[in-house]
Amino acid sequence: MNYELIHTVKEKFQAEFEGEALMVFSPGRINLIGEHTDYNNGFVFPAAIDKGIALMISKSENAHSTIVSVDMKETLEVDLKNLNRIEAPTWKNYIIGVIAELMKVNPNITNFNCVFKGDIPVGSGLSSSAALENSLVFGLNELFQLGLSKMELIHVSQKAEHNYVGVKCGIMDQFASMFGVEDHALFLDCESLQSEPVFIDLNAYDILLVNSNVKHALAESAYNERYEVCHKIAHQLNKLSLRDVTFEELETLKSKISNADYQKGLYVLEENDRVVECKKLLKQNDIEQVGQLLYLSHHGQSTMYQVSCKELDFLIEEAKQMNYVVGARMVGGGFGGCTINLVLKSNSEEFQKSISNLYQRKFDRTCSIHKVKLSDGTRVVKM
């Protein structure tokens, strides 16, 4: 955890407010494999990381609640009896959404003050949104002793995103951020919400994230479109979700739907199989084969599911040429953000230098590289 981040939030809080307060840290996440499978009730393999949101919160006697974003240098004042979504895209909708959805489950909260700041680049595909939602919902649950379980809390976070931000996200991000386990990735079945922490011992390899530093504008609308296509296909086959659809069943629709839709359905079925295979390979410590799965996964995201972009494809194609990278793919919703790369430790520096130079030359912009540690989920930080 980044103690400088915690310290900055504490200082800002103490400058603005008084009284006893609670500090919460909620992490972002990576995802080894299993992209766009969560809202199809499929399998995913995410892990919480050591970057996220620090949020300090206390009760307030004021007539409204005050929420300060250090990064945005903005303050939101909220009337708990009048919680309306703001029409323009803003971080404030995550806050308003969490409060509103939480109060539907348990209305026993009163006004509060809070300050938060993050160290995950926004729009990087590392789920700063889930980290923010979880930090607030977890903080409120602790502060007002609502007694909700972590499982109940992640559903509040998800509903905030559905109903107040307008993205029909699955449960992966909120789950990973809340339930992360140090040095483990979570093999998660999004239908039963059963998860198995799998120890990630990459031995000779580093997990390096390359942030393309682009976020294309269509990301959110394209996400919701993918959601619709998948549910339409499942519906046409009289199934609740693509999780229940077999390759044979999908084949029967092939001539009845567009090829683009068929490819998307096929991608989801194949990606689910890859997640299951990945868990098996990791347990056998077969990192070479895990790497191959990552490349296949990216290929599907790019050519079949069509959620990549030229910057991400370039980063993956270049990584593939480097024999010390065993596997790489895009992470998260797509249309920008990060790639995840499994890189031989001995060549880590070389990789970083080469990929940065290549990217700069191609797009005339810089990429940023992060080495992440797999970490615990949302928690109170003792001060």
Strands 46-59, 194-199: pairing is unpaired
Nearest to 44 by CA among 191, 166, 154, 182: 191
Cα(335)–Cα(130) distance, integer angstroms = 18
The distance of closest approach from Cβ of residue 365 to ligand GLA in the complex, given in angstroms and rounded to an integer, is 23
Question: Closer to ligand GLA at the Cβ: 173 or 318?
Answer: 173
CB 333 within 8 A of CB 307: yes
The distance of closest approach from Cβ of residue 170 to ligand GLA in the complex, given in angstroms and rounded to an integer, is 3
Nearest to 358 by CA among 306, 313, 300: 313
The distance of closest approach from Cβ of residue 36 to ligand GLA in the complex, given in angstroms and rounded to an integer, is 5
- Which residues here bind ligand GLA, judged by CB under 6 A? 35-36, 38-39, 127, 169-170, 172-173, 332-333
Cα(219)–Cα(17) distance, integer angstroms = 37
* Residue 121 DSSP class: P
Type and span of the H or E element at 298: helix 287-299
The distance of closest approach from Cβ of residue 218 to ligand GLA in the complex, given in angstroms and rounded to an integer, is 14
Question: Closer to ligand GLA at the Cβ: 126 or 344?
Answer: 126
Name the active-site residue from 79, 173, 206, 261. Answer: 173
The distance of closest approach from Cβ of residue 332 to ligand GLA in the complex, given in angstroms and rounded to an integer, is 4
Question: Closer to ligand GLA at the Cβ: 32 or 319?
Answer: 32
Nearest to 307 by CA among 290, 232, 316: 316
Question: Closer to ligand GLA at the Cβ: 261 or 271?
Answer: 271
Cα(212)–Cα(207) distance, integer angstroms = 16
The dihedral sign for the CA sequence 305, 266, 230, 91? negative
What the block records as the tokens of 136 is: 């607030």
Question: Closer to ligand GLA at the Cβ: 170 or 300?
Answer: 170
Question: Closer to ligand GLA at the Cβ: 46 or 139?
Answer: 46
Question: Closer to ligand GLA at the Cβ: 327 or 333?
Answer: 333
The distance of closest approach from Cβ of residue 38 to ligand GLA in the complex, given in angstroms and rounded to an integer, is 5
Q: Is 189 a catalytic residue?
A: no
Cα(332)–Cα(169) distance, integer angstroms = 11
- Secondary structure of residue 220 in the 3-state scheme: helix
- Identity at 172, one-letter amino acid code: M
Q: Across the chain, how many H-helices and E-strands are there?
A: 11, 13
What the block records as the tokens of 359 is: 């990217």
Task: Count CA within 13 A, CB hemisphere, residue 219.
Answer: 17
- Identity at 135, one-letter amino acid code: S
- Identity at 68, one-letter amino acid code: V
The distance of closest approach from Cβ of residue 35 to ligand GLA in the complex, given in angstroms and rounded to an integer, is 4
Specify the residue for token string 């708990």.
80
- Secondary structure of residue 119 in the 3-state scheme: coil
CB 83 within 8 A of CB 99: yes
- Write out the catalytic residue numbers: 173
